[in-house]
Amino acid sequence: MRLTRRRFIGGAAAAAVAGGGIYELVDRLGSSPARPAVEPAGMPPEQHLLDLTTTHSEGVEVIVPPLHHAIVTAKLDVGDLRAAQTKLEDVLRDIDSTYPLTPAGLGVTVAWGIPYFDKYVPAQAKAHLPHDRRAQKQVLLPTRRFPSDPSTTILETNDLVVLLRSDRIEHIEAARKEIFGLPFLTVTSIRRGFAGGGFDGGRSLPKKMALAAGVPGADLIPDSAELFLGFTSTQKAGLGPGTIANHETLGYVDLRSGYFRNGTHMHLSHISEDLEAWYLNFDFAERVLTAFRPGMTDVRDGTQTVAQGPPQVSPESDLVRQFHKTGRFGHSASIQATSRLQQDTIGVDGTHYAKGTAIPQRADFNTLDNPFAFSIDPARDGVRKEPSAGVHFVVFNPSGDDFERNRLAMDGVLPGGTKLSVPPRNRAAGFNSVLTTTHRQNFLVPPRRHRSFPLAEL
Amino acid sequence: MRVTAAVGLVALAIGMLAHGAGAAPNTSCPAAWAHGWQSLADKVGAPVYCPTWMPNPLDARIGGQYQDIYSIGKDRSYLVSFLEHGDLGSGDVHVNFRGYPGRKLIPHCPAPVGHGTLPCFSDPVGRMSANGIRATVYQVNQGADQWHVLLAWHYRGGLYTVSQHVINPYDSATRVRQNLQRLLKSLVLVQPAR
């Protein structure tokens, strides 16, 4: 089922692809969503927050994601840590002054991996890295595989990652070149992708891009689907609001010195999606119960945006009961056991979060990378030229343990110790049978004031 | 693999399936293939559909080099399958013909999860007409038709289907639907001799 090069460039998109890569098609095939012209008065202390507009899709309020995304990972070769810190911060401040912090401008998030803290600032890290008091573990955990991951999933060891988000690809490219022109950064991978479109009823960007690239199953994607798998995933009520994913907000984390206040945890993975298996083996009703939960019978055929607010949250007891009744569980329902607040909660800043509120803030986007647009080690990373449907999954949680709880629940391992016993990657376990995770890594996102070489100045 | 039709039938199927037209096609089954299809019609005691075109490289000669499955159930339902299994990754070409004489409703197949059953043909995504037949296009199918796009229609109280696997070299549902359109156009009825 491999695509040939001839077929890839043989379609209407051939000229664009030959000219500068498949992602240039995003500009040709998509149009920028309407954005407010008002520039935020100041930058928030959090790096991971980007003020996004909302619209309505099939009666549900949804967040409109930026059209373009890029992720660049790197390793460091630094002699003078403080000089490097100054240089990186100068570049980031220059970018800040060039682009407003909006999708029309640019969102930049710099995060750091365990290898950086271990190699460059081990003593400071020991004293200042936040601690997850709920899990009794470090907030930044070693990257691990999960039960449904194949043994081939690569656990990466990058020093840092930069997430770039914008409706304008030229903003992303300019910032990427500026940041990674610094001599002490060696790029290890570049990952690109797109999301959105389609909320106005027209053909969405993922559908257009998949068709242009000729990936298997492209013709089966619903025309206006926000993402390849056909369902909207940016329901406002399904994403963590405001600063809920900050380390400190829900009280899960001991900030210790407070250096990382306004920071968060970021997990990055690449996941291949088998679109043909999804659309040819699962009928619409089964796609609904797989993506959401068994017993969800009130979803009209062809619906793409399913409400995911607190009223739709399944308690763990319902999840377990449904599993014993049907032998299967849905993706959303399994994760909700850990990703939603189990009771009304007051954040440290006094914000009231209702029971059922989502905690994670996802920033995932579809890709045709196979698995990356660039790798410094293409053999290790299994890079192929043929485009492939997938998702670069980015999620912000208060801690690494909080992410792991969600990811384990996706495999039927619930936080209270209950295990919904399904073989790994079985069709009974949500999306797992059509997803394959190729790469993973955990990162810490410092607050904006410490985004450049955190702890190096201490 | 022979799909065993379970006892349960889908009530909705009557509404979903389009009926074949009363007029019989005006061409005949190719001479080299006719014996096998006539024999099948005689065995099931009902009309069967013989294709006059098959996707390359297949032919539809029952008993020939490409025949894969030839199965007739106690209820007179049949499955005739033609397969070219390519070596060295060149892919498969796989076409199934089914008939359920005297049955209008879609049979049920074992569910892939749990102990229940589900319709053997589901996710109707459109209609296709040719040759006096108005068929429903099903995108999600079970058993020997798994990963196939399938056309189903009624004729004289019976249910008939033809399906093709979505796989290299016909590696998109769009390409398979083009083949199925051509197959539908090529079908001729073979009546039982007795």
Query: What average pLDDT score do residues A290-305 get?
Result: 90
Q: Does the structure show a pLDDT above 80 at B194?
A: no
Task: List the Cα angle A267/A270/A274 in 5-degree steps.
Answer: 135
CB contact under 8 A, B113 and A327: yes
Distances (CA, A) of A361 to A246, A299, A366, B168: 10, 25, 16, 39
Residue type, B103: R
pLDDT of res. A63: 94
For residues A369-383, give the mean pLDDT: 98
For B146, which residue in chain A has the nearest alpha carbon?
Answer: A281
Average pLDDT for A423-450: 94
Residue recorded with tokens 């379970």 = B6
pLDDT at A415: 87
| pLDDT tens-place string over residues A64-91 | 999 999 999 999 999 999 999 999 999 9
Whole-number pLDDT of residue B24: 44
Tell me which of A88-92, A107-111, A436-440, B167-171 is least confident. Answer: B167-171
pLDDT for the residue numbered A24: 63
pLDDT at A383 over 60: yes
- When comparing pLDDT for A201 and A421, which is higher? A421
Nearest to B113 among A280, A284, A428 (CB): A428
In the prediction, which pLDDT does A310 show?
A: 87
pLDDT for A247-273, tens place per residue?
999 999 999 999 999 999 999 999 999
Judge whether residue B19 has pLDDT over 50.
Answer: no
Q: What is the pLDDT averaged over residues A308-312? A: 87
Whole-angstrom Cα distance, residue B40 to residue B36? 6
Q: Report yes or no for ipTM above 0.85.
A: no
- Of the pLDDT bands very low, low, confident and very high (cuts 50, 70, 90), residue B176 is very high
Could you tell me if B146 lies within 8 Å of chain A, comparing CB atoms?
A: yes
* pLDDT confidence band for A25 (50 / 70 / 90): low
Beta pairing partners, B163: B96, B150
For A317-331, B42-56, B133-147, which range has the lowest pLDDT when averaged over its residues?
A317-331
Q: Looking at the predicted structure, is the pLDDT value of residue A17 above 50?
A: no
For residue A82, count other CB atoms closer than 10 A to its CB: 11
The pLDDT-based confidence of B3 (bands split at 50, 70, 90) is: very low
pLDDT at A23: 66
Q: Is A115 or A198 the better-scoring residue by pLDDT?
A: A115
Q: Is A425 an 8 Å CB contact of chain B? A: no
AA identity, residue A431: F
**What integer pLDDT is reported at residue B143 of this predicted model?**
94
Question: Using H for helix, E for strand and C for coil, what is the string for chain A?
Answer: CCCCHHHHHHCCCHHHHHHHCCCHHHHHHCCCCCCCCCCCCCCCCCCCCCCCCEEEECCEEEECCCCEEEEEEEEECCCCHHHHHHHHHHHHHHHHHHCCCCCCCCEEEEEECHHHHHHHCHHHHHHHCCEECCCCEECCCCCCCCCCCCCCCEECCCCEEEEEEECCHHHHHHHHHHHCCCCCEEEEEEEEEECCCCCCCCCCHHHHHHHHHCCCCHHHCCCCCCCCCCCCCCEHHHCCCCCCCCCCCCCCEECCCCCCCCCEEEEEEEEEECHHHHHHHCCHHHHHHHHCCCCCCCCCCCCCCCCCCHHHCCCHHHHHHHHHHHCCECHHHHHHHHHECCCCEECCCCCEECCCCECCEECCEEECCCCCCEECCHHHHCCCCCCCCEEEEEEEECCHHHHHHHHHHHCCECCCCCECCCCCCCCCEHHHHHEEEEEEEEEEECCHHHCCCCCCCC
Inter-chain CB proximity B114 and A428 less than 8 Å: yes
Is the Cα torsion angle A48, A54, A56, A57 positive or negative in sign?
Answer: negative
User: pLDDT at residue A114 above 70?
Assistant: yes
pLDDT classification of A33: cutoffs 50, 70, 90: low
Q: State chain A's mean pLDDT as an integer.
A: 90
The whole-angstrom separation of Cα A380 and Cα B157 is 59
Average pLDDT rounded to a whole number, residues A407-419: 93
In this prediction, residue A279 has a pLDDT band, given cuts at 50, 70 and 90, of: very high
Q: Which residue in A1, A277, A282 is closest to B168 by CB distance?
A: A1
A350: which residues sit within 8 A by CB, 6+ positions away?
none
Q: Does A118 touch chain B (CB under 8 A)?
A: no
Counting residues of chain B whose pLDDT is more than 90, the rounded percentage is 78
Average pLDDT estimate for B58-76: 97
Spell out which residues of chain A touch residue B13, defining contact as CB-CB under 8 Å.
Answer: none
Mutation site, A283, A322, A421, A431, interface B, largest B CB count within 10 A: A283
Tokens of A339: 């990703």
The answer to whether residue A326 scores a pLDDT higher than 70 is: yes
Other CB atoms within 10 Å distance of the CB of residue A98 = 13
pLDDT band at residue A30 under the 50/70/90 scheme: low
If one compares A285 and A8, the residue with the highest pLDDT of the two is A285
Least confident of A300-309, B28-37, B175-184: A300-309
Q: Which tokens is A175 given?
A: 């910032």
Instruction: Identify the pLDDT of residue A337.
Output: 87
pLDDT at residue A31 is higher than 80? no
Query: A114-128, A158-172, A213-227, A413-427 — which is least confidently predicted?
Result: A413-427
Q: Does B15 touch chain A (CB under 8 A)?
A: no
Query: What's the pLDDT at A18?
Result: 37
Cα separations (Å) of A135 from A249, A253, A345, A356?
16, 9, 19, 21
Residue B19 has which token pair?
Answer: 């009926």
Asked if B139's CB is within 8 angstroms of A280's CB, the reply is yes
Q: Which two tokens stand for residue A250?
A: 């829900």
Say yes or no for a CB contact (<8 Å) between B168 and A2.
Answer: yes
Per the CB < 8 Å rule, is A326 touching B113? yes
Would the CB atoms of A326 and B171 count as touching at under 8 Å?
no
Give the chain B residue whose CA is nearest to the CA of A430. Answer: B113
